[in-house]
Chains A and B, each alone.
Chain A
Amino acid sequence: MEYHKMPTIKIHNAETNEVIEREMNAEELAQREIDKATIEAEAQAKTEAAADKQALLNRLGITAEEAKLLLS
């Protein structure tokens, strides 16, 4: 049987140099889910921007390299 491992958090106290590592609590896990969704949305936006850029290049009939040359 395969167990799902909880992500861990390492806490390093810079004053005492004490390091503890434990499983994330519910609040931290919830934040992690938010972060994951945020980053995925960022990636999606980036992909869409790249697609928009390619569509524009297609309409103009030039390549990305030619566009770069044009703007340099």
Chain B
Amino acid sequence: MATTTNYGWDTPDDTDLVKDGAAAIRTLGSSADTTVKNLNPETTTGDISYRSATANVNTRLALGTAGQVLRVNSGATAPEWATTADQTPLTTKGDLFGFDTADARIPVGTNGDILTADSTQSLGVKWAAPAAGGGMTSIASGSLSGGQVDITTISGSYKNLQLVVRDFLPSTDGASLRLRLNNDTSNNYSNQASFGYKNNTFGASSWQLSEDADNAVTESIIIVNIYDYANTTTHKMASLYSYSTNMTTTSNFDFLQYIQFFQSTSAITDIDLLVASGTMGGSYILYGVS
């Protein structure tokens, strides 16, 4: 019996008798009906179909739900409607979208950090503290009291130190404020007026920070800049600016402008403020200068 080219439906041979025509047409129609139905299994609006493992037999894929997307199933054997999971790697507030060989999250840095390119990082960037830019950081501050205040364990991570003393007020009239470094009580200090002199000696056991001060009136301010204080190869140097009330005539003032030297190559880690008699009041702030 003859068949159609594509689907192999039975058709009458050229020599078949006319009396068998009705049966032949019915057979052909049934075959066509079966094939068409197999190729169009959709039953509901929105259905789609795809080829099954059997030739000329499609499989119905019912319409998915709102928002679903068409994708290949996990076995990679057929399409399916699916609700997609969140496709970003971000999990936490502040995360950024990064990439190495795949999408990845860049966790947020700490407060004040800035995002910096860094090729050694797997994601090529990192959060890092901004480089210091010449600022002043308060290292220690407080009130002057008693006979001595020691500021200890000073970090060596700054370029210079600046000490600011406000309203120094000794209990003993005429006492002056003194400063020592690293608890060194030897004659390794020098206080020089701001001119150049040759052939000087270290003859003092402290730096002088004020003139003989009044014990009742003060509007004084004292600023000491200690330069390159953390180096371990040179002696140390500072500049002093000191303004205070004259102890005899309190409407007048005294001032000192010294270049001060310290005969030690050690890094400065300790600053002592002291009066040799009585006690003292006022306040201090030690800054690290970047």
User: Which residue numbers of A lie inside 8 Å of B, CB to CB?
Assistant: 7-17, 19, 21, 24, 28, 31-32, 34-36, 38-39, 43
Per-position contact with A for B177-207: 1 when CB-CB < 8 Å, else 0? Answer: 0100000010000000000000000000110
Interchain CB contact under 8 A, B276 and A9: no
Contact among B146, B205, B206 with A8 in the assembled complex (CB-CB below 8 Å): B146
Q: How far is the CB of A25 from chain B (nearest CB, A)?
A: 12
Would you mind naming 10 contact pairs between A and B with Cβ atoms under 8 Å apart? A8-B148, A9-B150, A10-B142, A10-B150, A14-B152, A15-B153, A19-B142, A21-B146, A31-B185, A32-B274
List 5 tightest A-B contacts by C-beta distance, closest first: A8-B146, A7-B147, A35-B276, A15-B153, A36-B276
User: Which residue numbers of B lie inside 8 Å of A, CB to CB?
Assistant: 139-140, 142, 145-155, 174, 176, 178, 185, 205-206, 212, 274, 276-277, 279, 286
Given contacts A13-B152, A39-B176, contact A32 B276 (CB under 8 A): yes
Q: State the CA gap A4–B243 with chains docked (Å).
A: 33
Contacts of A31 in B (CB 8 A): 185
Q: State the CA gap A11–B140 with chains docked (Å).
A: 11
Closest to B147 in A: A7
Q: How far is the CB of A36 from chain B (nearest CB, A)?
A: 4
Interchain CB contact under 8 A, B286 and A14: yes
Contacts of A24 in B (CB 8 A): 147-148
Q: State the CA gap A34–B139 with chains docked (Å).
A: 30
